[in-house]
A and B are shown apart, each in its own frame.
Chain A
C-alpha cells in the first residue's frame, strides 16, 4: 500500500465515524482528536478500523504516535 492508499483508508474510516467531516478538512499535522472533535470512543473506533483495514497492529502505548493524519500514515507505512 502506498501512502496515498493508506491516506484514503484513514479518510474513509474517519468519514464512517464522523460523516460530516469532509476529507479536505482533515489537517495533516494537527491532533485529529482536537481538530475533528473526536472523543476517546471515536478515536478508538478509528484505530480499530484502520488496524483491520491495513493489518497493522497499533498497541495502546503507540497511540501518541498516530495522533495526526501524517503521523498515522507514516506509522501504518512502517508497519507494512
Chain B
C-alpha cells in the first residue's frame, strides 16, 4: 500500500445531508486531475452539485457506478499519485486486513474503534466509517459531518503505537478540518514523521498551497460545454424540507442559543452606495448586501468566538471568515453557499461572488467547495420582508446574523429627530462558546463600521485590485 493512495468519499454538503446519488463521472480511471477540477456530479436534495477536488492527484479507480446512491462518508473513488498508478487495477484488495496482519501488536491493546482507525490507510474518511460502528445517542446520527469524539486522546496516549504505513496520526480537529476541505492528510504530509498532525499544521499546509481561482473558468471551457446535463431536475423540495427540519431541530435541541438585537443605521452606507453605483455600469452595480457582508466579515475577524465550529465538545475558531450566505430557491428551498476569506474582499468582489453563487444555486450548478466550510452564516429577509427575523444556528457553526428588511424610522440623532434608513439585525449565538457581551460587542462594532462606509471600499486586496474584476 502506497503512502499516497487514499479514498475520496461521498462528501457532505452540509450537516443535514446523509446521502447523494452519483449522477455522472467527469473523469475516468487513470486521469490526472488538478486542484479545482470537477470530478463528478452529485445529486442531492439540494440539486445537482459539482464535486471539485482540493488536490492535484490521479484517479486510480472509480468505486461506484453512475446512478448509485451513496451514503456520506462511503468511498467513491481511489486517488493517488502518479508513481502508484500501477496499482490501479487492484482496488478490491482488502487493505485493512493486510495492514492488520502486518501490524498485529499495534492494534491489540486498543479498542475496536481505534483498531479500525489505525488499520485503515486512507485517512480522509475514517471518522465516518468508524462512526458507523458506534452506538451513540440517536441525535448524533443526524450529522454525518460530526467527527467522533475521544479518538485523539487515545491515540496520543498510545505513544508506543506502531503506525501503519500510510496512516497519518492526527488530532480529530485536524482530521475533521482536512476532511471538510476534501484533503487527504497523506497528500498534505507525504513525508510525515511519527509526530501527530495538529489543526494548525493542516492549516499551514493548506496555506502553503494556495487555492486556484480557476475552478469557475474550468467549468466554462469548451470541453465541458458538451457534457450532458444529466441532472437538471433541480432540488428535491420534500427532501430539502426534511433536511432543514432535521438540522434546525437538532440545532434547537442541542445548541443553547442566546439572542441580541441591534438596529443598524444604514443611512450613510446607502448614501455612499448610491454615489458608488452612479459611476458604475449597470452590470457592475452593487446591491446593499455586498458592503453589508463585507462589513460583517471584517467585524467578525475581530470576534473569533462567533466565527468557527463547535464539535466534540469544544470550539475551534476559524482564522478566516468563510461567510455562508443563505439563498432562497424559488419553490421554497434554502441553500447556503460560502464566500471564503470574506474579510479580505472588497464589496465589488463580494458582489461578484454573490452574483455567481445565486446564479449557480438557481441553475443547479453549485460547486462542492462553495457549499462547505462555512464559519458563520448571514441570512437576509429581503427588501419587502419582515422588519426583524430571528435565525437558527446552522451547526457546527456557533452564530448567525439575521437581517430584516431595510426601512425608514424616525430616530433621535444628536438630540434631534431624524428620518434614517435602518436594518434590524439579530444575532443568535451559541452560549457554550460565548456570552451576550461578546455578541453585543460584535453588533456594536458592526454598526460603528457602517457609519464610515468609505472604509469598506478603502481596504483592497494585497494586489490593490478587487479579486474578481471580470463580469460577463
Contact present for B285 and A60 (CB under 8 Å) = yes
Q: Residues of B contacting A18 with CB < 8 Å?
A: 330
By the criterion CB–CB under 8 Å, are A40 and B282 in contact?
A: no
Question: Which of A40, A52, A57 touches B382 (beta carbons < 8 Å)?
Answer: A40
A33 interface neighbour in B278, B328, B383, Cβ under 8 Å: B383
Determine which of B278, B282, B285, B328 lies in contact with A39 in the assembled complex, contact meaning CB atoms within 8 Å. Answer: B328
Task: Report the Cα distance A52→B328, complex, angstroms.
Answer: 26
Instruction: Give the Cβ gap from A74 to chain B, nearest Cβ, in Å.
Output: 19
Q: Quick check: B331 and A20 within 8 Å, CB to CB? A: yes
Residue in A20, A34, A45, A57 with the greatest tally of chain B CB atoms within 10 Å: A45
**Among A41, A47, A51, A59, contact of B355 (Cβ-Cβ < 8 Å):** A41
A20 to B274, CA, bound (A): 32
Report whether A39 and B382 are in contact in the complex, using a CB–CB cutoff of 8 Å: yes
- Do residues A58 and B282 form an inter-chain contact, with CB atoms below 8 A? yes
A61 within 8 A of B: yes
Considering only residues 61-75 of chain A, those with a C-beta below 8 Å from chain B are 61
What 0/1 readout, one digit per residue, does chain A (11-52) give for beta carbons within 8 Å of chain B? 000000010100000000000011001011100110110011
Is the CB–CB distance between A57 and B282 below 8 Å?
yes
Of all chain A residues, the one with the shortest Cβ separation from B287 is: A40
Q: Are A44 and B278 in contact (CB under 8 A)?
A: no
- Name B331's closest neighbour in chain A (CB-CB): A20
Q: Of A20, A39, A48, A60, which one neighbours B383 at CB under 8 angstroms? A: A39
Residues of chain A within 8 A of B331, CB atoms compared: 20
A34 — which chain B residues lie within 8 A by C-beta? Answer: 384
B111 to chain A, nearest CB (A): 52
Residues on A with C-beta less than 8 A from B354 are: 41
CA distance A20 to B330 in the complex (A): 9
Contact B274 A40 (CB under 8 A): no
B215 at the interface (CB under 8 A from A): no
Interface string of B380-416 (1 = CB under 8 A from A): 0011100000000000000000000000000000000
| Contact (Cβ within 8 A) B382 A60 | no
Residue among A20, A37, A44, A52 making CB contact with B285, cutoff 8 Å? A44
Q: Do B278 and A59 touch (CB < 8 A)?
A: yes
Q: For the complex formed, measure the closest distance between the CB of A38 and the CB atoms of chain B, giving whole angstroms.
A: 9
Instruction: Look across to chain A and name the residue whose beta carbon is closest to the beta carbon of B472.
Output: A48
Q: How far is the CA of A61 from the CA of B285 in the complex (A)?
A: 12
The answer to whether A60 touches B287 (Cβ under 8 A) is: no
Report the nearest B residue to A20, measured CB to CB: B330
Distance A18 CA – B362 CA, assembled complex (angstroms)? 9
- List the B side residues contacting A39 at CB < 8 Å: 328, 382-383
Q: How far is the CA of A57 from the CA of B277 in the complex (A)?
A: 13
Q: Once bound together, how far apart are the Cα atoms of A52 and B472, in whole Å?
A: 11
Q: How far apart are the CA atoms of A45 and B282 in the complex, in Å?
A: 9
- Chain A residues in 8 Å Cβ range of B285: 44, 60
Kindly state whether residue B152 has any CB partner on chain A within 8 Å.
no
Q: Which residue of A lies closest to B406 (CB)?
A: A40
- Does B110 count as interface, using CB distance less than 8 angstroms? no
Chain B contacts with A in 347-387, Cβ cutoff 8 A: 354-355, 358-359, 382-384
Is A33 a contact partner of B282 (Cβ separation < 8 A)?
Answer: no
Please give me the residue from chain A that is nearest to B354 by CB atom. Answer: A41
- Contacts of B226 on A, CB cut-off 8 Å? none
Contact A41 B278 (CB under 8 A): no
Does the CB pair B282–A48 fall under 8 Å? yes
Residues of A within 8 A of B283 (CB): 48, 52
| B106 in the interface (beta carbon within 8 A) | no
Given the known A-B contacts A57-B282, A60-B277, are A40 and B383 also in contact in the complex, defined by CB atoms under 8 Å?
Answer: yes
Q: CA A5 – CA B467 in complex, angstroms? A: 38
Interface residues of A (CB under 8 A from B): 18, 20, 33-34, 37, 39-41, 44-45, 47-48, 51-52, 57-61
A-B contact pairs, 8 of them (CB 8 A): A20-B331, A39-B382, A39-B383, A41-B358, A48-B282, A58-B282, A61-B274, A61-B278
Q: A39-B328, A57-B282 are in contact. List 19 more A-B contacts (CB 8 A).
A: A20-B331, A33-B383, A33-B384, A34-B384, A39-B382, A40-B287, A40-B289, A40-B382, A40-B383, A41-B287, A44-B287, A45-B355, A52-B283, A59-B278, A60-B274, A60-B277, A60-B278, A60-B285, A61-B278
Across chains A and B, which 9 residue pairs bring their CB atoms closest together, nearest first? A60-B277, A51-B282, A48-B283, A41-B358, A39-B382, A40-B287, A48-B282, A40-B383, A47-B282
